[in-house]
């Protein structure tokens, strides 16, 4: 297996893990399986914003017209 294929496989795997985990976490909060205490509401909002920005970064990487070569 060439180095380029390993890098590509790692990129796909990490992207899938992040996106899957993000939506699993978001679904758990929306379904009410996980409750956020009121004193942590601001911190939770900030973390959710950072993770949402990460989703946008991953999507822009995969849908960019030209990606940097590894």
Average pLDDT over residues 20-39: 93
Q: What integer pLDDT is reported at residue 20 of this predicted model?
A: 96
Q: What integer pLDDT is reported at residue 68 of this predicted model?
A: 64
Average pLDDT over residues 19-40: 93
The DSSP code sequence of 26-63 is: HHHHHHTSS---GGGHHHHHHHHHHHHHHHHHHHHHHH
Average pLDDT over residues 29-55: 93
pTM of the model: 0.80
- Domain range annotation of the chain: 3-63
Q: What integer pLDDT is reported at residue 1 of this predicted model?
A: 72
Burial of residue 67 (CB within 10 Å: 0-12, 13-18, 19+) is: exposed
Q: List, in order, residues 6 or more apart from 64 with CB less than 8 Å away.
A: none
Separation CA 49–CA 52 (nearest Å): 5
Q: Is pLDDT larger for residue 54 or for residue 4?
A: 54
Average pLDDT over residues 20-43: 93
């Amino acid at each position: 297996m060439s180095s380029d294929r390993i890098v590509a496989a790692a990129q796909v795997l990490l992207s899938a893990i992040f996106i899957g985990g993000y939506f699993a976490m978001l679904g758990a909060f929306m379904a009410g399986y996980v409750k956020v205490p009121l004193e942590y509401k601001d911190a939770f909002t900030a973390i959710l914003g950072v993770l949402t920005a990460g989703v946008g970064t991953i999507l822009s990487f995969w849908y960019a017209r030209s990606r940097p070569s590894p």
